[in-house]
Amino acid sequence: MKNNFLSKDIKVTNRLFVVFVFLFAVFFFAWLFLLLKDPGGSQRGILFIDSDDFFMDWFNTVYYAVGRIPYSWGVAEDRNYLPIIYMILYPFSKLYPYDISEGMTGSGRYDARYEQLPIVGAVVFIIGSYLFLFYVLYRSCKRKEFVRLILLSILFLSGVSLNSIDRMNIQVLTSAFLFAFVYLCDREQLPERFKTFLGLLCLAFSAVFKLFPAIFGILLLYKKRWKEAAVAVILGMVLAILPFLWVNEPFLDSVSAYISGTSQHSSYMTIADFGFSTPMIRGLLGGVSVDFMQIVAVIMLILSVAGSGFVRSGWKRIALLSLPLILTSGQSGYYCLMFMFLPIVLFFNEEHIRLDVLYVFIFAIILSPLQRTAYINGVAISAKGVINISLILLNIVLVADAVICMVYTDRRKQLDSTIRDGTLRER
């Protein structure tokens, strides 16, 4: 029946979209009001939190690209990118006379932010990255034009985007490439060969940029596209290894330094904004150990990846692969929430039931720019902490949904098998 509480309907989706827009508007304008009331207060934390270190991830990475020797100096745990990133950013290092002999204490990487050419280069890069990202999201959205524009406007005005503009992390471009792969290759029928190859190349780029997006290759394996999966692996290896030849350092020394830097970088589990092992989560659970919560994170990673092959909803499948990229990485920053942009867009492509309003509330919380901190039994619950709890709740709910789908699928197969066997015996 159409009025059944559990019946799916596009009209329900439209109502959920209205609720989503309303909730985000409340959060956004509350943040804007508080920011204008006190520009130097807590609400500034979402944007330009450090007036001396704005665009920090961009200029720090460009600084390492100087001289094509990113792995032989500086702070070891900061050398956590494959050389393709430094190779891409190397031309931008020519826009200012950096002097890496000063080391990380030098003023060059700070002074460059107040010069015209370095800032123009940075702004052009971030605008290009965002245009690529939102073009892919626009094409992925199947709703009417005004719904598309409202949804993309919300994503751009979200705390995630505002923080990403401040950090100017490579995350924006990584998400754009990853979402392009999903748009091109996560379908029943692959497009023409060139577009399929382009999609696989996009997966390879996102994987070598941030490593964790390689998990999305499971989409190819689930659909038994062995040849495409092999091509993606080869492309990823080429993009990961070949740029080491561009580095002006001995090959083996560079590889060793990269592995060491990545290992040290990922070991900082206690300072992550998001994940199962954050200090806030462990505090709320009575001070459980980091090791125990890391085990929980690995278990949820396995369940999420396995469960993505059983859920029947496209947005849930992508969300189950996106959540581990946020919750199991020891260094998940605010900008990593951008991995949730595509699941949110895909959510509003599908028909829903009224109970799915739970997801709408979680999405609005994830995107909210509000910055507040409260205390529960002496444990600081920040805005990021609330988002983290919402992400963990979403992960648990989707894994439970996948288990239900798996059990239902197994029973359906058994029933079909029983029916076929009975038909054969009758014959």
Residue range 295-338, pLDDT digits in tens: 888 899 999 999 998 998 999 999 999 999 898 765 568 888 99
Proportion of the chain above pLDDT 90, given as a percent: 55
Distances (CA, A) of 31 to 39, 252, 386: 11, 49, 16
User: What confidence score (pLDDT) does residue 54 get?
Assistant: 83
Q: Which class for 181: exposed (0-12), middle (13-18), buried (19 or more C-beta within 10 A)? A: buried
Residue 424 has pLDDT above 50, yes or no: no
Q: Find the range with the poorest average confidence among 3-12, 36-45, 308-317.
A: 3-12
**Calpha distance 300→281 (Å, rounded):** 15
Q: Find the range with the poorest average confidence among 77-86, 178-187, 308-317.
A: 77-86
pLDDT digits (tens, 9 = 90+) for 360-385: 999 999 999 988 776 666 677 788 88
Tell me the average pLDDT of the chain: 87
The two three-digit tokens of residue 78, written as one number? 């900061």
The predicted model gives 74-93 an average pLDDT of 86
The predicted model gives 1-25 an average pLDDT of 84
DSSP assignment, residue 9?
B
Q: Find the range with the poorest average confidence among 37-46, 210-219, 403-412.
A: 403-412
Where does the pLDDT of residue 55 fall: very low under 50, low under 70, confident under 90, or very high at 90 and above? confident
User: What confidence score (pLDDT) does residue 412 get?
Assistant: 54
User: What confidence score (pLDDT) does residue 427 get?
Assistant: 45
Residue 202: phi and psi, rounded to 5, are -65, -40
**Calpha distance 380→362 (Å, rounded):** 20
Query: Which residue type does 391 have?
Result: L
Q: Find the range with the poorest average confidence among 13-17, 213-217, 247-251, 331-335.
A: 331-335
pLDDT digits (tens, 9 = 90+) for 402-420: 998 888 765 555 544 454 4
User: What confidence score (pLDDT) does residue 107 get?
Assistant: 78
Annotate 343-386 with DSSP letters as a single string: HHHHHTTS-B-GGGHHHHHHHHHHH-----EEEETTEEEEHHHH
Cα–Cα–Cα angle for 144, 146, 151, nearest 5°?
95
CB 4 within 8 A of CB 345: no
Residue 104 has pLDDT above 70, yes or no: yes
User: What confidence score (pLDDT) does residue 40 get?
Assistant: 81
DSSP assignment, residue 169?
-
pLDDT digits (tens, 9 = 90+) for 261-278: 777 776 654 456 788 888
SS3 313: coil
- Give Cβ neighbours of residue 36 (< 8 Å, ≥ 6 apart): none
Greater confidence (57 vs 88) lies with 88
Considering only CA atoms, which of 368, 338, 335, 330 is closest in space to residue 168? 335
User: What confidence score (pLDDT) does residue 3 get?
Assistant: 54
Annotate 194-236 with DSSP letters as a single string: HHHHHHHHHHHHHHHHHSGGGGGGHHHHHTT-HHHHHHHHHHH
The predicted model gives 156-180 an average pLDDT of 93
User: What confidence score (pLDDT) does residue 289 get?
Assistant: 86
The owner of tokens 């993009």 is 239
User: What confidence score (pLDDT) does residue 239 get?
Assistant: 96
DSSP assignment, residue 150?
H
The predicted model gives 137-152 an average pLDDT of 95
The predicted model gives 40-60 an average pLDDT of 80
SS3 268: coil
Greater confidence (418 vs 165) lies with 165
Residues pairing with 382 in the sheet:
373
- Give Cβ neighbours of residue 252 (< 8 Å, ≥ 6 apart): none
Greater confidence (39 vs 156) lies with 156
User: What confidence score (pLDDT) does residue 106 get?
Assistant: 74
The two three-digit tokens of residue 348, written as one number? 């509003």
Domain ranges for the chain: 1-39+268-427, 48-267
